[in-house]
Amino acid sequence: MPERVLIIGVGVTPFAAPSARTPLLDLVGQAAHMALEDAGIDGDLVDQVFMSSANSGVGVCERLLVQTGLAGVPMFCIRDGGASASTSVHLARNSILAGEAEAILVLGFEDLQTGLSKQNLFGLDGYPNRERGEWTRLDNPAAIIAQREHPAALYAAQMSWLQARLGLTDLCFERVLDRASAQARLNPTACADAPERGVWFPPYLSPPAHGAAAVLLCSEAFAARYGSRGGIGILSSTRVGESVCELADGNPLDVLGRAATRRAAELAYAEAGIGVEDLDVVELHDQSVGDFLVFSAALGLCEEQGLAEFALCARTRPAVCPSGGLLGCGFVPGASPLAQLAELVRQLRGEAGDRQMPGARTGLQHSAAIGRSVTVAILQRH
């Protein structure tokens, strides 16, 4: 059994607004080619492919796999909302650790349409009308979970809670957005033509985008055999779901994943054998300004009672979302976690250009699918 799984190749296409019409095949093929070229290996060495998308139709993954020249390779299609890609990486790592494969390509993509509804963007399905009567009482766990079927309202409640309970102001939120935009301007893959805030989506939410990304995972033995660059190891990868007690009071912060993120982070730090003080760079799931702040605290980067100060003062270490995050780059549900992993890989290699955190050695990537599933992965340069 290999001791560690490595990331040896990454590729991210430039993200674009839903109005852009780049063919999906071109996006996926470009991302796959970039990851393989980055790793310096041929596609025929790939043992398995994991494909992630929150909104793809039946059979899309299979058609794309055939058209990108990887026909015949065992494929797994993951549809898990905004955590689809990080779920794929988690499962791919486990497959390598179990000895089922030595090299796995993880591909994430999304082809968003201008008229896509907010529910579809967030990877949600409506609940049946016949059951609504049973969900009217908030002491019923199903009623609390059903709040996720109204994502825009839930994110608005998150912001209101931060203002009313923790005293955050509009200036705090604007500082977070300003820093995300500034970092995104340094990132060539960030969405440069996002729609104006407040039109399609509220100002506190990340803009929708479409694009593709890929990462290539392998065992240490594979990297040594084929001479691939193998300097970035996955120290830990954890996935947790919600518990009823965490949702008992219907707090929007926990419905969106605060408590689950705390547990996932604790498990990830323990598995990796490090503490939050060892992190140099973090890419977290900032689907909203509130997410950026709440998840920063849940990951241990600051105290929740100190979020206002955290928002106003730019933190130098660890660097949080140096890529620009979802707020700055745009949110591609099936691909954004892979793009964030690619940013960490580049940071740990020292290849992040103007975004580079000097001396970066350890990074953390976090994803949440509107709270119902949370993943945390910790990477380290050998």
Tell me the C-alpha distance between 307 and 313, whole Å.
Answer: 10
Minimal CA–CA distance to 365: which of 284, 276, 298, 293? Answer: 284
Instruction: Give the model's pLDDT for residue 133.
Output: 41
pLDDT bin (cut points 50, 70, 90) of residue 136 is very low
**Neighbouring residues of 243: CB distance < 8 A, sequence distance ≥ 6:** 259, 260
Note the pLDDT of residue 148. Answer: 75
* 314 band by pLDDT with thresholds 50, 70 and 90: confident
48-52 and 75-78 beta bridge pairing:
parallel
What's the pLDDT at 119? 56
pLDDT in tens, 47-97: 999 999 988 777 888 888 888 888 889 999 998 888 999 999 999 999 999
**Mean pLDDT across 167-190:** 94
pLDDT at 3 over 90: no
Burial letters for 239-275: b for 16+ Cβ neighbours within 10 Å, e otherwise? bbebeeebbeeebbbbbbbbbbbbbbbbbbbeebebe
- Dihedral angle sign, alpha carbons of residues 192, 195, 198, 202: negative
Which tops the pLDDT comparison, 262 or 54? 262
Sort 188 into a burial class: Cβ within 10 Å, 0-12 / 13-18 / 19+: exposed
For residues 58 and 334, the model is more confident at 334
Q: What percent of the chain has pLDDT above 70?
A: 88
CA distance 339 to 345: 10
User: What is the reported pLDDT for 288?
Assistant: 93
Query: Strands (DSSP E) along the chain, which ranges?
Result: 5-12, 48-52, 75-78, 103-110, 211-219, 232-241, 281-283, 319-320, 362-368, 373-381
pLDDT of residue 355: 96
Backbone angles phi, psi at 157, to 5 degrees: -65, -35
Distance separating alpha carbons of residues 16 and 357, to the nearest angstrom: 26
**Rounded mean pLDDT of 252-263?**
92
**Residue 54 and residue 56: Cα distance in Å, rounded?**
6
Comparison of pLDDT for 252 and 244, the residue scoring more: 252
Summarize pLDDT for 210-248 with one digit per residue, the tens. Answer: 899 999 999 999 999 998 776 799 999 999 987 878 777
pLDDT for 345 equals 98
Highest mean pLDDT among 22-31, 107-116, 293-302: 293-302
- pLDDT of 201 over the 50 cut: yes
Query: Lowest-pLDDT range, 55-64, 110-119, 275-284, 362-371?
Result: 110-119
Average of per-residue pLDDT values in the chain = 87
| pLDDT attached to residue 47 | 97
Sheet with 48-52, side-by-side order of all strands:
75-78, 48-52, 103-110, 211-219, 5-12, 232-241, 373-381, 362-368, 281-283, 319-320
Amino acid identity at 87: T
Phi and psi of 236, rounded to 5°? -155, 155
Flag whether pLDDT at 200 surpasses 60: no
| pLDDT reported for residue 117 | 55
How far is the C-alpha of 13 from the C-alpha of 366, rounded, in Å? 21
Task: Tell me which residue of 43, 88, 91 sits closest to 65, measured CA to CA.
Answer: 43
Domains in the chain, please, with CATH?
5-117+172-381 (3.40.47.10)
Residue carrying the six token digits 């109005």 = 19
Q: For residue 331, what is the enclosing H or E element? A: none
Q: What pTM was computed for the model?
A: 0.92
For residue 152, what pLDDT band results from cuts at 50, 70 and 90? confident
- Which amino acid is located at 39 in the chain? A
Whether residue 302 contacts residue 296, with contact meaning beta carbons closer than 8 Å, is answered with: yes
Q: What is the mean pLDDT of residues 134-150?
A: 64
Q: What are the backbone dihedrals phi and psi of residue 227, each rounded to the nearest 5 degrees, phi first?
A: 65, 25
Q: Band of the pLDDT at 277, cuts 50, 70, 90?
A: very high
313 CB contacts (<8 Å, ≥6 apart)?
A: none
Peptide bond into 151 cis (omega under 30): no
pLDDT level of residue 284 (50, 70, 90 thresholds): very high
